[in-house]
């Protein structure tokens, strides 16, 4: 049995959707950020980073969304969630998920978590002002070439798709001009129509 530690409204949704897509047996454990449960002694023993997602597996704990998505795809090959038999294509998938993790998500986090990189309120304010520009620039690359369409890798759906969907839901709050991202918005709507996506969102809302 797998256990996904998550918080609503976070990137953990991508791993949650992937588990549903894979038909995996799993259970959910909500980490209540309002109660700072991510900093509790019990959770820090599990995940010293104090963040979500974390996935408890028979082999140990996994953190970081790209790693969890790759694990799900490789653990449930019959679901066809990644081109795991093609080394180059699988690396391309990982390049995309790594970009979301290391660049797009970090740019987004500057809006509300500037304390990770600076100490002065003026610095926080400056980072926040930059977010519409930095996130838009990152998504312009996705819009103009990285998203092949209709899915990230082209005709084949993969674990990269729930990750893009999850992060693209933050665009409005980040102040990005959606009119410049028609292909990303089409992808977001296509994802929202999938039963696994609707189920995962409903589960997280129900808590």
Interval 50-90: pLDDT, tens? 999 999 999 999 999 999 999 999 999 999 999 999 999 99
- Domain ranges for the chain: 2-80+197-206, 87-194
Interval 114-138: pLDDT, tens? 999 999 999 999 999 999 999 999 9
- Domain 87-194 falls in which CATH fold? Glutathione S-transferase Yfyf (Class Pi); Chain A, domain 2 (1.20.1050)
Q: By three-state DSSP, how is residue 55 classified?
A: strand
The rounded distance, in Å, linking the Cα atoms of 87 and 28 is: 32
End-to-end CA distance of the chain: 20
Residue 207 has pLDDT above 80, yes or no: no
Summary mean pLDDT of the chain: 97
**Quick count: other Cβ atoms within 10 Å of Cβ 110?**
21
* pLDDT given at position 76: 98
Residue 104 has pLDDT above 90, yes or no: yes
Residue 182 has pLDDT above 90, yes or no: yes
Question: What percent of the chain has a predicted confidence (pLDDT) above 90?
Answer: 98
* pLDDT given at position 180: 98
User: Is 110 within 8 Å of 117 (Cβ atoms)?
Assistant: yes
- pTM for this model (two decimals): 0.97
109: Cβ contacts below 8 Å, ≥ 6 apart: 116
- Domain 2-80+197-206 falls in which CATH fold? Glutaredoxin (3.40.30)
* pLDDT given at position 43: 97
* 165-194: burial string, b at 16+ Cβ within 10 Å, e else: bbbbebbeebebeeeebeebeebbebbeeb
Which stretches of 33-159 are assigned E, i.e. beta strand?
54-57, 60-63
């Amino acid at each position: 049995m797998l256990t996904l530690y998550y918080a609503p409204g976070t990137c953990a949704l991508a791993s949650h959707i992937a588990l549903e897509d894979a038909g995996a047996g799993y259970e959910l454990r909500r980490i209540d950020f309002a109660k700072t449960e991510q900093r509790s002694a019990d959770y820090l023993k599990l995940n010293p980073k104090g963040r979500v997602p974390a996935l408890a597996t028979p082999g140990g704990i996994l953190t970081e969304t790209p790693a969890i998505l790759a694990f799900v795809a490789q653990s449930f090959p019959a679901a066809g969630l990644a081109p795991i038999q093609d080394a180059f294509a699988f690396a391309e998938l990982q390049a995309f998920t790594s970009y979301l993790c290391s660049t797009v998500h970090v740019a987004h986090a500057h809006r509300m978590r500037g304390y990770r990189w600076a100490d002065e309120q003026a610095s926080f304010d400056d980072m926040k002002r930059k977010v519409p520009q930095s996130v838009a620039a990152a998504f312009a690359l996705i819009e103009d070439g990285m998203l092949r369409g209709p899915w990230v890798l082209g005709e084949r759906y993969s674990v990269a798709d729930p990750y893009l969907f999850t992060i693209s839901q933050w665009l409005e709050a980040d102040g990005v001009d959606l009119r410049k991202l028609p292909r990303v918005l089409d992808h977001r709507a296509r994802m929202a129509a999938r039963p696994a996506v609707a189920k995962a969102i409903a589960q997280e809302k129900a808590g």
